[in-house]
A and B are shown apart, each in its own frame.
Chain A
């Protein structure tokens, strides 16, 4: 089982990110379970969402306490909550930031294997392709490239499934693809 925990703030599409990821995994024939850490609707408050992916039926219902991957949609959260609680050594960390890893000064990075931690300027990519700083689609594209758990084309299909409007779906697909390609070239080069 592969467990992904997504951190962000209300209004950033954290819950949607987990759901889209689960759909992407489903499209590849896997079992996937996505759910938020629940609370009343409120913009700006820290939000956590979970996604489990497995080849067999997922029976577990507890929150993800030992994530194999962390997606952080808002790096200001590192100071607010223990984002990395339970983070498995050898896991993947993807941070939405236009700064480099060094500039973020994250202690956890020191223990992580090379190539497992990346930053991606997802909000900027979103602004460019979607016109709003909604980083979730870009982060999912980057996630596909970073971990290989799902293919980009599944993420793309899942994004199209999530949006009624073709225009918005296309924009999100563009952001995801751009982020994916950016990461893919880094990991290929690195």
Chain B
């Protein structure tokens, strides 16, 4: 049924339709509305046959999900940023044990400095943990991906993270078509575990594995994610057939056929980029876009196909691998590794800590990429003046104080000056 609702609510309803059996979550901005919605739905009976557990930390949240999933129940949790890090040990435990837990990640920056706004640093922090990571572009896709996620997770025994931009998607009210229960039931069968704790058939799960077997276990995790490369588009196609819309898949393209420059991005920023591309095309600039939905498994081959014929690739990402550059750009490089005549890859770091990515800034950086390629990562909308002031100051003064506070103070001073 089509509704005008908050993204968090749409996601909660989508999760509810998947007949979760154990929901356990600890509140953290910006995921709070999702778990509150689910808690409400369990109380009112809208979600039946479900245990909703208020845990005391994110570490406990994922641990409860681990226990529930290993005992055969369909388990769900949600977190963001600091909470994801707090449960990091359990994140690796869940994927290492092969438990099909689905978790919403309300993408939020990781501190210090503490920041509650959106970026992808949290997803990047655990991207190699063995979880699948799917990025939603809109709230419609955010809702739909949860349904596909349970199917994928349970088919492959791999936990899945559905990444949704904090605030930008979670707190936006927009049109979402929430599927009907019967349709979701037809798409997502009941959970049939590959391994389960059952007194009628006792097994031991979680033994220590030594040097003679560890590599094989890890390899099989990696291999299963390559199977996911085939299943993700298959399940997305089936989703389209049943629900009538494109949602999910590995990636999608926008005006890439004749593009001389292709942007690669994940999440909600793709919408703004499309509007920018339309404006640039109107000016005769041949720009296209690849929206990456599946970050893990990384669709190396599919991406290579889309990028190989263009001249410039600009990767715009809301993440920074401090000391290296752009992690998404790094992954995109992988798709073009050893390819003769590969396009030039430009890395743009944007939107960190929730800084808005505007069409105006996108125009500037994309037009620049056409004429003046750059090395290393370009930080979109970096306040170079304040950075320069800080660098100068710390060179002069040993006890220069905390960087974050210094920057904030300079910003405040600059704003005052501007106001006068």
Contact = CB atoms under 8 A, between A and B. Distances in A.
B210 to A, nearest CB: 48
B275 A31 contact: no
B175 interface: yes
For chain A, which range describes its interface: under 10, 10 to 19, 20 to 34, or 35 or more residues?
20 to 34
For chain B, which range describes its interface: under 10, 10 to 19, 20 to 34, or 35 or more residues?
20 to 34
Nearest to B418: A82
A36 B171 contact: yes
Interface in B109-126: 116-117
A38 B272 contact: no
Given A38-B167, A65-B358, A33 B272 contact: no
- Between B168, B172, B274, B360, the greatest number of chain A beta carbons within 10 A of the residue's beta carbon is seen for B172
Interface in A32-59: 32-36, 38-40, 58-59
Contacts of A124: none
Contacts of B117: 38
A19 B173 contact: yes
- Between A19, A62, A65, the greatest number of chain B beta carbons within 10 A of the residue's beta carbon is seen for A62
Contacts of A58: 174, 271
Nearest to A22: B173
B356 interface: yes
Contacts of A105: none
B354 A26 contact: no
Nearest to A34: B173
Interface string B114-150: 0011000000000000000000000000000000000
A61 interface: yes
A60 B272 contact: yes
Contacts of B359: 60, 62
B171 A32 contact: no
Interface in A8-40: 18-19, 22-23, 26-27, 31-36, 38-40
Nearest to B138: A59
A75 interface: no
Given A26-B4, A61-B268, A62-B272, A38 B173 contact: no
B269 interface: yes
Given A40-B29, A40-B116, A61 B173 contact: no
B138 to A, nearest CB: 8
A121 interface: no
Nearest to A158: B4
Interface in A63-86: 63, 65
A33 B30 CA distance: 18
A23 B271 CA distance: 21
Interface string B1-14: 00010100000000
A26 B117 CA distance: 27
Given A23-B173, A60-B272, A35 B167 contact: yes
Contacts of A63: 356
A35 B168 contact: yes
A151 to B, nearest CB: 16
A61 B4 contact: no
Nearest to B118: A38
Majority secondary structure of chain A interface residues (helix, strand, loop or mixed): mixed
Contacts of B167: 35-36, 38
A32 B4 contact: yes
B357 interface: yes
B93 to A, nearest CB: 32
B356 A35 contact: no
A34 B168 CA distance: 10
B356 A33 contact: no
Contact of A61 (B6, B30, B175, B269): B269
B59 to A, nearest CB: 23
B254 to A, nearest CB: 10
Contacts of B173: 18-19, 22-23, 32-35
A23 B2 CA distance: 12
Nearest to B7: A35
Interface string B301-329: 00000000000000000000000000000
Interface string B265-283: 0001111101100000000
B171 A31 contact: no
Interface string B243-275: 000000000000000000000000011111011
Given A38-B354, A59-B275, A61-B269, A33 B174 contact: yes
Contacts of A33: 172-174
A27 B360 CA distance: 32
A35 B172 contact: yes
B247 to A, nearest CB: 14
A118 B173 CA distance: 27
Nearest 6 interchain pairs by C-beta: A59-B271, A26-B4, A35-B172, A34-B173, A38-B167, A62-B358
28 contacts: A19-B6, A22-B174, A23-B4, A23-B173, A32-B173, A32-B174, A33-B174, A34-B172, A35-B167, A35-B168, A35-B172, A38-B30, A38-B116, A38-B117, A38-B354, A39-B116, A40-B29, A40-B116, A59-B270, A59-B274, A60-B271, A60-B275, A61-B168, A61-B269, A61-B271, A62-B356, A62-B358, A65-B360
Given A35-B171, A62-B359, 13 more contacts: A18-B173, A34-B172, A36-B167, A38-B30, A38-B117, A38-B171, A59-B271, A60-B271, A61-B168, A61-B271, A62-B356, A63-B356, A65-B360
